[in-house]
């Protein structure tokens, strides 16, 4: 697999380019401990993708899919909710889940750009879900061996969920790829559109290097080949071609540098909570 051309254009090397970005502080956007910053990246990926997936409810191609995507959103939301209070306990701020979700500004979010992108068509969502769930399967498999019992516990529960997510996405990618001419064309186009946002998942930033060094986390780059292998098996069966490279790639999410849709996502998600400071719901 290692000799394979990487379809996600990842260098598998620390993302040095981030250092030149304004505001990419050494200890992460809020100066948290690297372990906390690492876990915040995982939690924010789950939280933001849950938010995006929940937008499908009442908009899916069939009612079963309204339920299924809602279910996946609920699982991811649950993963974020399990991690946030724990992060609050280790970063010394004592923040709770809503402090993280509702009261942080865009620059303090550490999710990758992949999950914040606006909802496209159903093929776009299945392409994103296929990659993200394949990544999460490898991630949580590795994290079940974390030296941190809480992280290992969260990963153990999440692993059962994300295997189902991967299964769900795989079935749809195969159906769409090997369905009609139109669905094949759309699914192929979606695989190409998602490509620039994948490399970020496998960047080793300082927080992940430190977390991996402590045995708490795992080096993102170490997941790359297995994830690509999982995705390629599905696209092969689906008679689709995994695109080889894109002319650009997203970067900066883990350092709090986000793409345009992120601010709007937060505005919508946080508006009510922020309009009533200190209120409980």
Contact region for another protein (CB under 8 A) — 6-14, 52-60, 132-140, 208-216? 52-60
110-137 as b/e, with b when 16 or more CB fall inside 10 Å? bbbbbbbbeebebbbbbbbbbbbbbbbb
Work out whether 279 is an interface residue with another protein (CB under 8 A).
yes
Which residues from 199-228 bind another protein, rule CB under 8 A?
A: none
Please return the burial class of 260, using the count of CB atoms within 10 Å of its CB with bins 0-12, 13-18 and 19+: exposed
**For residues 18 and 65, which CB has a smaller minimum distance to another protein in the complex?**
65
The tokens describing 192, both together, are 């190409």
Which residues from 91-120 bind another protein, rule CB under 8 A?
A: 97-98, 101-102
Query: Which residue in the block uniquely carries the two structure tokens 């010394």?
Result: 92
How many positions of this chain bind another protein (CB under 8 A)? Answer: 47
Indicate which single residue of 38, 86, 109, 122 sits in contact with another protein (rule: CB under 8 A). 122
Work out whether 48 is an interface residue with another protein (CB under 8 A).
no
**For residues 21 and 171, which CB has a smaller minimum distance to another protein in the complex?**
171
> What Rg value do the Cα atoms of the chain yield, rounded?
18
Cβ proximity of 204 and 17 under 8 Å: no
What string of H, E and C letters represents the secondary structure of 205-249? CHHHHHHHHCCCCCCHHHHHHHHHHHHHHHHHHCCCCCCCCCCCC
Contact region for another protein (CB under 8 A) — 54-62, 155-163, 207-215, 252-260? 54-62
Q: What is d(CA 14, CA 10) in angstroms, rounded to the nearest whole number?
A: 10
Work out whether 276 is an interface residue with another protein (CB under 8 A).
yes
Query: Three-state SS for 117?
Result: coil
Give the per-residue contact string, 164-193, with another protein (x = CB under 8 A; - = no).
----------xxx-xxx-xx--x-------
Indicate which single residue of 17, 25, 59, 147 sits in contact with another protein (rule: CB under 8 A). 59
Tell me which residues touch another protein (CB under 8 A): 51, 54-55, 57-67, 70-71, 73-74, 77-78, 80-81, 97-98, 101-102, 121-122, 174-176, 178-180, 182-183, 186, 268-269, 271-273, 276, 278-281
């Amino acid at each position: 697999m290692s000799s394979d051309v990487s379809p996600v254009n990842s260098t598998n090397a620390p993302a040095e380019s981030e250092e030149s970005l304004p505001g990419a502080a050494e200890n992460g956007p809020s100066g948290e401990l690297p372990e906390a910053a690492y876990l915040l990246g995982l939690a924010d990926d789950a939280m933001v993708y849950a938010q995006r997936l929940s937008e499908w409810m009442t908009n899916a191609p069939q009612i079963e899919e309204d339920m299924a995507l809602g279910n996946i959103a609920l699982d991811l939301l649950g993963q974020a909710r399990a991690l946030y209070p724990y992060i609050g306990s280790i970063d010394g701020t004592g923040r709770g889940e809503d402090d993280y979700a509702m009261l942080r500004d865009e620059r303090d979010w550490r999710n990758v750009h992949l999950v914040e992108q606006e909802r496209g068509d159903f093929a776009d969502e299945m392409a994103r879900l296929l990659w993200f769930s394949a990544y999460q399967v490898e991630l949580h498999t590795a994290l079940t061996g974390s030296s941190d019992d809480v992280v290992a516990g969260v990963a153990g529960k999440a692993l059962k969920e994300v295997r189902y997510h991967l299964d769900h996405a795989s079935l749809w990618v195969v159906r769409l790829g090997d369905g009609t001419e139109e669905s094949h064309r759309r699914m192929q186009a979606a695989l190409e559109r998602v490509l620039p946002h994948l490399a970020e998942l496998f960047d080793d930033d300082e927080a992940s290097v430190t977390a991996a060094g402590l045995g708490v986390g795992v080096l993102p780059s170490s997941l790359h080949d297995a994830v690509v292998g999982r995705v390629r098996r599905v696209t092969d069966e689906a008679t689709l071609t995994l695109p080889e490279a894109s002319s650009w790639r997203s970067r900066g999410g883990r350092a709090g540098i986000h793409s345009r849709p992120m601010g709007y996502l937060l505005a919508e998600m946080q508006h009510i909570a922020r309009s009533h400071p200190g209120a409980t719901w």
